[in-house]
Structure 1
Amino acid sequence: MSTTPPRPTPAEHDEIARLLPVPAERERPGRHHQLLKDQLLREFRQDAAPAAAKPRFGVRRLTIAAVPLAAGALAVTLATGGQLDPRPGADPLAAVTPDSSGSASGRTGGQATPAAVLLDRIATVAAARPAPAVRDDQYVYVSSTVAWSSQSADETVMRLDTPHSRKIWLSVDGSVPGLLRERGKNIVLADEVDKAGRPVSDHPVGNPAPTLNSPTYRYLESLPTDPDALLEKIYAETKGSGPGPDQMAFVTIGDLLREQLAPPKVSAALYKAAARIPGVTVVDDSVDAAGRHGVAVARVHAGERTEWIFDKKTLEFLGERGVMVQDMPWASSGQVTATTAILARGITDKTGETPGRTG
């Protein structure tokens, strides 16, 4: 039996399209409809794999949020009991002393894996960042360069888009609409908008019911800071959806870090939780959409490797990359399927402003 998943037939394309949400009920930016469609197609292919490796089919809702937060470029020297050296410039893969709790996260035979070492160091730096003072009436601002792959119904392969600018303003508490500025368009991020992107209510809100896959800053504040409890919550709330529990957990943590800010302790817990997911590895050299090289935390699923890229010296988050590691009918090994780069982030008082000035 061939282990290569078959490409969906036209009838299967129609069935997948039927499962997509109706735009008239809750309009989302067109790019996100395309992302959802692409994800459905990928998961359908994964579902067509042999039974031994076949995940339970499920649709993970792709939301407005779309790029991870910085681990923090901090020049700090911390006393850590000899376990970690969080100083910028230290070897991110340096050996660590097992902690006194005897945690088995990311460890084999009592030895920490390179991914666990790196994520522990990233978490230490993230936890040392000062907690920002953020008001409910403010916005999280992120500026990035992005490019994603898409596949039309009449094409056999996925094609990477041209990298382009993306700026987003997200309501801190979700009570008011946000704003997405991309490809020369201003898109209101409201709970309900019409086909032209205008709010349908006289009192529109942005994100009144945040979730793991669509967080606000206040929602992130409410998450457990214990990595085991946090990971347990992620597994429980994503059970039965997406491409298997471990990959779904890894993807969900990435979603929680995208185009948002998280309190330092929550940010650290997310990185430590990621270290506990089986199959997480390190890529020694990766490059973001701005051409910056760094070390990456990665996981492979269905022939595609998802990479979170960090500066090797400061452990600042640089961006993300998706790359094929084996040939598939829709992509070739070595093909980049997605690339992003964080250029700026901060807190603003209004949409359309950048931190420190209007514009």
Structure 2
Amino acid sequence: MNAEHDEARERAELSSLLPAPAEPELPVDRHRLLRGHLMNEITEAPRPAPRRTRRLGWLALPALAGGLALAVVLADGGAGAPAAPPAAEGAPLNVAPVAVAQVLDHAAQVAESKPATAVTGGQFTYVKSLVAFSGVTASAGGVSEVTHDAPHQRELWLSADGKQWGVLIEEGWKPVPAEPRGGKDKSRPGEPAPRTDGGQWLEPNTRPGLNGPTYEYLAGLPTDPETLLRKVYKETKGQGQTPDQEAFVTIGDLLREQVAPPAVSAALYRAAARIPGVSALDDAVDASGRHGVAVALVHGGVRTEWIFDRSSYEFLGEREVVVDTGNAWGAPGTVVGQSAVLGRGVVDAAGERPQR
């Protein structure tokens, strides 16, 4: 009876942490750019089941998507030529919570040891990375196939206070024209002149949240890990495939393509260590070929990995690997998404790069 009573009480406490959220709508351009995590429906032919159904994965809020991007692209416009699917190796090191806690606590200590940078509202966060997406290509004839991109460079500038236009420059992708307004003008109100460097303008982010944050929003997050995790569960309720998977993916998006105050980054790592089902891996490889240790969560036959330098515990990148047979995305070991963070910083203008 005591065990049953304790279980009921724990369920009640968990339920209290997951009230329904009111998630703001994201601007149209952010949805287009975060193609991977939006997974638009294609009904002409059978296809692999979408892994993530909302976020802008690679825009950090935006690119944000929940983790690595699995893109759905139409054959008449989008991804480049498909590449052979890469294979991954990496046996579980230890699925005990203590192993995960050790890795993530080391990462948290590294994060909080960094000096806090004064960031003003008019500045921009900058993240440079390598990314690769897997997706489904559908032709007009109703034929679909899984495609695998090769890693390519991506640079992202986001307004620290959300009031300025950001910029995305990604190799192999041309700027996306704005949708016509009233059948006439294709411009967006206040949009700057087209860029000469191939970059896409990103609309100001006036309604930031966990799925689309600004630096100022991140700076206001709680730094107590338990409080922060409650917030993540609360604001992502009903999204993703399970609450735990969505919490893991949401935190991963914030780690991959955002710049946050050191105390907040440390709290994100320690919050993730409290998510049930997270395991540790002895070896994983990011999109640039760097090896490291990883923490991971398996769901839907795919393992999402956060990769850390084996010595310094700096965050290197993220990877998604098929682990079950019969998966529509490929055989076990197929890498369906990967990234590698190459640089971060704060700059004074969109398009400006940090000084080395």
Confirm or deny a common fold (TM above 0.5): yes
In structure 2, what is the equivalent of residue 134 of structure 1?
Answer: 119
Specify which of 161, 168, 178 is matched with residue 180 of structure 1.
168
Q: What is the CA–CA distance in structure 1 between the aligned matches of 2:47 and 2:223, rounded to whole Å?
A: 31
Write the letter of the residue equivalent to 1:209. Answer: R
Q: What is the CA–CA distance in structure 2 between the aligned matches of 1:148 and 1:46, rounded to whole Å?
A: 13
Cα offsets for 1:33-87 (capped at 9, x unmatched): 354126999999489xxxxxxxxxx94333532489xxxxxxxxxxxxxxxxxxx
In structure 2, what is the equivalent of residue 317 of structure 1?
Answer: 315
In structure 1, what is the equivalent of residue 11 of structure 2?
Answer: none
Cα distance change on mapping 1:36 and 1:240 into 2, 3 Å: same
Cα offsets for 1:258-302 (capped at 9, x unmatched): 311111111111000100001111111111111111111111001
In structure 2, what is the equivalent of residue 62 of structure 1?
Answer: 56
SS of residue paired to 1:181 = strand
In structure 2, what is the equivalent of residue 334 of structure 1?
Answer: 333
Q: What is the CA–CA distance in structure 2 between the aligned matches of 1:33 and 1:171, rounded to whole Å?
A: 21
Q: Does structure 2 retain, via aligned residues, the 8 Å contact 1:164–1:183?
A: yes
In structure 1, what is the equivalent of residue 253 of structure 2?
Answer: 255
Q: What is the CA–CA distance in structure 2 between the aligned matches of 1:230 and 1:355, rounded to whole Å?
A: 30
Q: What runs of 5+ residues in structure 2 fail to find an aligned partner?
A: 1-24, 66-93, 193-202
Q: Report sequence identity in percent.
A: 49
In structure 2, what is the equivalent of residue 238 of structure 1?
Answer: 236
In structure 2, what is the equivalent of residue 303 of structure 1?
Answer: 301
In structure 2, what is the equivalent of residue 15 of structure 1?
Answer: none
Q: Does structure 1 retain, via aligned residues, the 8 Å contact 2:236–2:247?
A: yes
Cα offsets for 1:192-234 (capped at 9, x unmatched): 9546997511378511101111111111011111111111111
Cα distance change on mapping 1:60 and 1:123 into 2, 3 Å: same
SS of residue paired to 1:126 = helix
Q: Does structure 2 retain, via aligned residues, the 8 Å contact 1:159–1:337?
A: no
Specify which of 21, 32, 38 is matched with residue 36 of structure 1.
38
In structure 2, what is the equivalent of residue 122 of structure 1?
Answer: 107
In structure 1, what is the equivalent of residue 149 of structure 2?
Answer: 161
In structure 1, what is the equivalent of residue 217 of structure 2?
Answer: 219
SS of residue paired to 1:307 = strand
Cα distance change on mapping 1:229 and 1:193 into 2, 3 Å: farther
Cα distance change on mapping 1:187 and 1:259 into 2, 3 Å: farther
Cα distance change on mapping 1:241 and 1:34 into 2, 3 Å: closer
In structure 1, what is the equivalent of residue 275 of structure 2?
Answer: 277
Write the letter of the residue equivalent to 1:272. Answer: R
Write the letter of the residue equivalent to 2:222. Answer: P
Q: What is the CA–CA distance in structure 2 between the aligned matches of 1:232 and 1:43, rounded to whole Å?
A: 35
Write the letter of the residue equivalent to 1:60. Answer: R
SS of residue paired to 1:152 = strand
Cα distance change on mapping 1:252 and 1:195 into 2, 3 Å: farther
Q: What is the CA–CA distance in structure 1 between the aligned matches of 2:42 and 2:34, rounded to whole Å?
A: 12
Write the letter of the residue equivalent to 1:168. Answer: L
In structure 2, what is the equivalent of residue 228 of structure 1?
Answer: 226
Q: Does structure 1 retain, via aligned residues, the 8 Å contact 2:48–2:328?
A: no
Q: Shift of the alpha carbon at 1:185?
A: 5.6
Q: What is the CA–CA distance in structure 1 between the aligned matches of 2:154 and 2:220, rounded to whole Å?
A: 28
SS of residue paired to 2:56 = coil
For the pair 1:348 / 2:347, whether they are aligned, the reply is yes
Cα offsets for 1:126-161 (capped at 9, x unmatched): 111111111111111111111010012455653211
SS of residue paired to 1:113 = helix
Q: What is the CA–CA distance in structure 1 between the aligned matches of 2:280 and 2:39, rounded to whole Å?
A: 29
Write the letter of the residue equivalent to 1:181. Answer: I
Q: What runs of 5+ residues in structure 1 fail to find an aligned partner?
A: 1-21, 48-57, 69-94, 96-105
Cα distance change on mapping 1:263 and 1:277 into 2, 3 Å: same
Specify which of 158, 163, 167 is matched with residue 170 of structure 1.
158
Cα offsets for 1:307-333 (capped at 9, x unmatched): 111101011111111100112133211
Write the letter of the residue equivalent to 1:164. Answer: H
In structure 1, what is the equivalent of residue 81 of structure 2?
Answer: none
Q: What is the CA–CA distance in structure 1 between the aligned matches of 2:119 and 2:32, rounded to whole Å?
A: 30
Cα distance change on mapping 1:199 and 1:253 into 2, 3 Å: farther
Write the letter of the residue equivalent to 2:54. Answer: R
Q: Does structure 2 retain, via aligned residues, the 8 Å contact 1:119–1:272?
A: yes
Q: Does structure 2 retain, via aligned residues, the 8 Å contact 1:27–1:195?
A: no
